[in-house]
Amino acid sequence: MFKTVLIANRGEIACRIIRTAKRLGLRTVAVYSEADAQALHVKLADEAHLIGPPPAAQSYLSAEKLIAAAKAARADCIHPGYGFLSENAAFAQSCADARLAFIGPPPSAMLAMGLKDRAKALMEKANVPVVPGYHGEMQEPKFLKQKAYEIGYPVLIKAVAGGGGKGMRRVDRHADFDTALEGAQREAKAAFGDARVLIEKYITAPRHIEMQIFADSHGNAIHLNERDCSLQRRHQKVIEEAPAPGMSASLRAEMGAAAVAAAKACGYVGAGTIEFIADGAGGLKSDGFWFMEMNTRLQVEHPVTEAITGLDLVEWQFQIAAGEKLPLKQDQVPLNGHAVEARLYAEDPERGFLPSTGKLIALQFPSGEGKGLNLRVDTGVAAGDEVTPFYDPMIAKLIAHGRNREQALSVLANALDATIVAGPRSNAGFLAALCRAPEFREGSFDTGFIDGHLEELGASPQGMDKAAAALGARELLTRERSRIAAAAEREADAARSAHISPWDADDGFQLSGPRRQIVPILADGQKATAQVIQERSATAVSIDGIAAASDAVYVLRRGRQTKVAFRDLSLDEGGDGAGGGIVRAPMHGKVLSVLVAEGAEVTRGQRLAIIEAMKMEHTLVAPIDGTVSEVAVAKDDQVAEGAKMILIVAKE
């Protein structure tokens, strides 16, 4: 076994690897960018090395810096986690050249399976069923458009080197193909440095089912059952579970055998995932699944497999990389109960799930201890940490394990209800609603389920939560009174000699009836006026919690956050009024392109600019008909959330 491991990653996966490595007696070495100097994974490791500025290209994606750090720390192996360089064959080879064991597959297997077009060709030779489509080298737009027509719409455009939904577009009409191709190629180039794409037939009722496989260097390969990852948004997984609802033992064996055959076909060693697309119409069936891609690394959702098997997959990774044989044979792999994982993100479901950055004013997870709950929380952040625009905005993964699917979903939903996130917005309430959605509970869902139920799940504009705003105003007044009282206490001599009458009170004192105070506030940037009534028998409003910052309070109610602050009447802090023509940046990000110039006539809904945040593109459109009077940004500018980008003067 190894002695020292360098974890070439950050966040929750780095923390998760550190836990297992320490249990195995390994010395752990973390790396961090300047943005992560105080990060949790840095604090948990035995030692840590700075590898560069915040942009990933200059830190976590620098193979040279990672290997230099490993040598400086006298590490004998590198664990890449997932994302970043985890599926980079050149990095794996560089580790081998530096005599550092790479905790992952050999470079040859990564090359064979890392590019979707090559992988599909290899699978066809191994008699593994493959989705119909074009996987060739020709990338001329007119040629690709013709291939899409021949395959038949709807089709998927997918980045050859992609993953995580980046560089992927669904196209339903021939007329929309050109715009979709342009966006997919641009996003693929930014995320993976490779703009090439392939075209596949889109299955209309798809289920995303993947098999966790392991192979050793002695020729043995097995699967550890399947995971269902069909609940997706923008082709990114939201909730994963194991086993897959509706999966029979015979179909599991058939899909598992196909997955093992795929692994052996590329000479695989280590942990990997074979992803299948299944036709969910009429239930899962033998002739209704096709190979989609292979992930040559550990998956984000691996904890649900650990929950139903009782195994530690990271421990297996270390053992196999050290040359050991697989610990179990296929017929020894357990399958106990049901597990469900939810990805808690700093994002705003009411604004198209835009990433939400900023300081975590409060962060609290429920504990299953003493409550009969089987709940696991994997996180890489703590209260006080900053969610930055440089990396994936995942806050944590919550994993529930139960005797059956119904119990696991209930445990997870209740845990999400009890989770407190203040500062950046989160998708906690959305996830809880998803866990309780009747059709999902019944097992009637596919990859389009979320998009078809956005309003029921609360993922659409909800308007101001007036009860939360009022509670926030009351909390602000309470804090202000405490501040005044503390100031008076510090002036002890003056306070003792002062004569304070009811007429001097700042709390809306009046001779009869309850005390009322009118408070001008900002609730999530919207102007409002709260009437705070001070009486003993006030009606209680159920809330999840209140967190305080220096200039505001955050009221959490039903998984939804409302930020409340005093409004300075001398300033126009309320933002832009209804129908206003100011287009602001919806999040921190980089301006990829500006599509209009000053003086241009625009119509409501017209595309104005494209911003990139977290390696995903977001298009800004005109809120009104009018004339562009100002363009405040240019291509490649970095913009902060709320920054003015374009001003439109309405037509008279």
Angle at 535 between CA 530 and CA 538, to 5 degrees: 75
**Residue (of 403, 467, 393) closest to 423 by Cα position:** 393
What are the tokens at 113? 């399976």
E-state strands within 146-243: 155-159, 168-171, 197-201, 206-215, 221-233, 236-242
**258 vs 72, 133, 149, 199, CA distance in Å?**
43, 20, 30, 23
CB of 207 closer than 8 Å to CB of 315: no
**Residue (of 163, 259, 237) closest to 434 by Cα position:** 237
What are the tokens at 554? 């955050």
Catalytic residue among 10, 297, 343, 474: 297
- CA distance linking residue 534 with residue 542, whole number of Å: 18
- CA distance linking residue 607 with residue 72, whole number of Å: 50
Residue 182 identity: E
Q: How many CB atoms lie within 10 A of CB 50?
A: 15
Residue 297 annotated as catalytic: yes
Angle at 389 between CA 383 and CA 393, to 5 degrees: 55
**Residue (of 21, 75, 103) closest to 320 by Cα position:** 103
**Residue (of 19, 68, 64) closest to 46 by Cα position:** 19
- Most distant CA atoms of the chain, gap in Å: 93
Can you spell out the DSSP letters for 90-158? HHHHHHHHTT-EESS--HHHHHHHHSHHHHHHHHHHTT--B-SEE-SS---HHHHHHHHHHH-SSEEEE
Phi-psi region of 340 (alpha: psi -120 to 50; beta: other; left: phi over 0): beta
Strands 77-79 and 4-7: what pairing? parallel
Angle at 546 between CA 544 and CA 552, to 5 degrees: 145
Strand partners, 335: none
CB of 160 closer than 8 Å to CB of 194: yes
Residue 467 identity: A
What are the CB-based long-range contacts (under 8 Å, 24+) for 201-204? 201/131, 201/132, 201/133, 201/151, 201/152, 201/155, 201/156, 202/153, 202/154, 202/155, 202/156, 202/170, 203/131, 203/277, 203/278, 203/279, 204/154, 204/281
Phi, psi dihedral angles at 479 (to 5 degrees)? -65, -40
What b-and-e string marks burial along 418-436, b requiring 16 or more CB atoms within 10 Å of the CB?
bbbbbbbbbbbbbbbbbbb
CB of 267 closer than 8 Å to CB of 108: yes
CB of 157 closer than 8 Å to CB of 117: no
CB of 464 closer than 8 Å to CB of 528: yes
Inter-axis angle of helices 249-265 and 116-125, nearest 10:
110
> Catalytic positions, please?
297
